[in-house]
């Protein structure tokens, strides 16, 4: 049986992951409006990943006999003003999500909830990848974003990203 504090944090994380999907759809919408369909594609796929992360938490709770409490998803409140600003907001958001995962992990460790820490191990690794991907996009934009031809090529590169569902076994 999962400890009450861990359950509360896991339930909150379901909503946070759905918010992340919603936020990244907003980022995609921004890039579409700027004619950067590759960047838009990259964030649409990010949104799909976040939705699936929410569903992994959802299923984990159900697999442990816990009903999920779904909350309203807040409207994204990030001001989207420049292509680089959006990328920086993406990195900041991933760092925030990492802190949330760490908070759940710490609570599970405190309660000696080894099943939950094992479940969260995948998310800890995933967040490292998410932060690296976000930082890599920023680095590429810093290198190529001011040159229209290079930005065009970067945009084309981002069009090739395809969705791959997570392979976490619950």
Residue that has been written with the tokens 């969705």 in this structure: 163
Please give the structure tokens belonging to residue 32: 């579409």
Per residue in 10-38, pLDDT tens?
999 999 999 999 999 999 999 999 999 99
3-state SS, one letter per residue, for 63-117: HCCCCCCCCCCCCCCCCCCCHHHHHHHHHHHHHHHHHHHHHHHHHHHHCCCHHHH
Buried b (16+ CB within 10 A) or exposed e, 134-156: bbebbebbeebbeeeeebeebbe
pLDDT tens-digit readout, 78-103: 999 999 999 999 999 999 999 999 99
| pLDDT surpassing 90 at residue 165 | no
- Residue 43 CA to residue 41 CA, distance in Å, equals 5
Half-sphere CA count of 42, side-chain side, radius 13 A: 22
Give the class (CATH, top level) of 4-159: mainly alpha
Is residue 6 classed as helix, strand or coil in its secondary structure?
Answer: helix
Residue ranges per structural domain of the chain:
4-159
In 3D space, the residue among 84, 94, 96 whose CA is nearest the CA of residue 143 turns out to be 84
Q: pLDDT tens digit string along 28-77?
A: 999 999 999 999 999 999 999 999 999 999 999 999 999 999 999 999 99
Residues 6+ apart with CB under 8 A from 124: 101, 102, 105
pLDDT bin (cut points 50, 70, 90) of residue 169 is low
């Amino acid at each position: 049986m999962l400890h009450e504090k861990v359950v509360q944090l896991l339930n909150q994380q379901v909503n946070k992951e759905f918010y992340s999907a919603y936020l990244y759809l907003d980022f995609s919408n921004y890039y579409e409006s700027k004619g950067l369909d590759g960047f838009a594609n990259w964030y649409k796929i990010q949104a799909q990943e976040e939705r699936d992360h929410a569903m992994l938490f959802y299923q984990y709770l159900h697999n442990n006999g816990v009903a999920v409490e779904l909350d309203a998803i807040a409207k994204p409140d990030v001001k989207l003003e420049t292509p680089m600003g959006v990328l920086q907001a993406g990195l900041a958001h991933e760092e925030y999500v990492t802190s949330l995962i760490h908070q759940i992990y710490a609570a599970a460790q405190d309660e000696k909830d080894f099943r939950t820490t094992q479940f969260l191990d995948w998310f800890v690794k995933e967040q490292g990848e998410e932060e690296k991907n976000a930082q890599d996009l920023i680095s590429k934009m810093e290198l190529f974003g001011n040159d229209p031809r290079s930005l065009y090529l970067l945009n084309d590169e981002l069009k090739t990203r395809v969705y791959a569902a997570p392979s976490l076994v619950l």
